[in-house]
Amino acid sequence: MLFLLVLFIKQNPPGLPSIAIAWVACVFWRSKLIIDWHNYGYTIMSLSHGRNHPLVQIAKWYEKLFGRLSDYNLCVTNAMKEDLWINCNIKAVTLYDKPASYFKETPLEIQHQLYMKLAKDYEPFKPRTESLSLNSETSAFTERDEKNGHVIKTRGRPALLISSTSWTEDEDFSVLLKALEDYERYVNEGVKLPSLVCVITGKGPLKDYYNGLINKLHFKHIQICTPWLEAEDYPLLLGSADLGVCLHKSSSGLDLPMKVVDMFGCCLPVCAIHFECLHELVKHNENGLIFRDSNELAEQLKMLFLEFPTLEGKLHNFRKNLRVSKQLRWDESWDQTVLPLLGQNK
């Protein structure tokens, strides 16, 4: 007997009105509807409208209703799985976000090519001093040996700190800016810390606002740039960085930041701001650190970059732990988690 299972997978959010449209289509085509819960749309709406706004309440009712009408439900954390069951009577299976295969550590040769490319447009990637040789290829972080053509890291190079954002209300970048002010003070007080290049990628509604704050800062030891990277360059830069910073605060407290998933795919240690279920992804003192405010973040940056770029200390150990962990990739995670679920319901 030939069994054919037709599936329609809908990610939520966005869910209004697409979940209802997907459900009608599944009824018509006699297909199965899977909702992949990455967050609640109504909690995102509440950031700008408030929890008690009529539109927010309608969206909440809508998501609960069509969640119950779906055939299968997936979610990104165990905390969301529990919330869906207790508050919505929806049974879900946890399918953690996993990095795509192209998120990985970047070889030094490719790092150099990326830095040289970015140096054409962004000052922080340019060499700190003029090269003595006109034929030398040098960036702020790497240089090509003229004798053998090999790429090496420059002596006294700055540390590369990276964060990515959609520049929305759920990420307060003033926390990072305040921590960088404290870091600058540590250097001025004589703490043996490297200069920093802080790269914040992405586009969004609050980018101009934060760029205005950044332009008012006058650092001697820190450079900040907010580029929009080409799609293929973003994973390469993550795989080249020394530390990632995540300021994502879940609107529901139940989802996990995909940017950290991608950073971990690149074996990049992370400092991430605390929220309810973050521990399901970031293991404090194992693959990164969790902070609650700018003061704590500043102290973590000082600890991690002390005597940089030594191959000892927590930063090195975090990267080593990420290499050893050998995370599942998307296809492997799907095969292990979702296929057995579908097989049970044939």
Q: Rounded to whole angstroms, how far apart are CA atoms 61 and 8?
A: 22
Q: Rounded to whole angstroms, how far apart are CA atoms 193 and 63?
A: 49
Within 208-281, strands assigned E span 222-225, 243-246, 270-273
Please report the sign of the dihedral spanned by the C-alpha atoms of residue 79, residue 82, residue 88, residue 92.
positive
CB 44 within 8 A of CB 69: no
Euclidean distance between the first and the last CA atom of the chain, given in angstroms as a whole number: 12
Q: In the beta sheet, which residues pair with residue 284?
A: 288
Going from the N-terminus, what domains does the chain have, and what CATH number goes with each?
A: 7-98+329-343 (3.40.50.2000), 108-114+157-325 (3.40.50.2000)
**pLDDT tens, N- to C-terminus, the chain (346 residues):** 333 345 567 677 777 778 888 888 888 888 888 888 888 888 888 888 888 898 889 888 888 888 888 888 888 899 999 999 999 899 998 888 888 889 999 999 999 999 999 999 999 999 987 554 555 789 999 999 877 889 999 989 999 999 999 888 878 999 999 999 999 999 999 999 999 999 999 988 999 999 999 999 999 999 999 998 999 999 999 999 999 999 998 888 888 999 999 999 999 999 999 998 999 999 999 999 999 999 999 999 999 999 899 878 899 999 999 998 876 676 677 777 777 776 665 4
Phi and psi at 10, nearest 5°, equal -125, 125
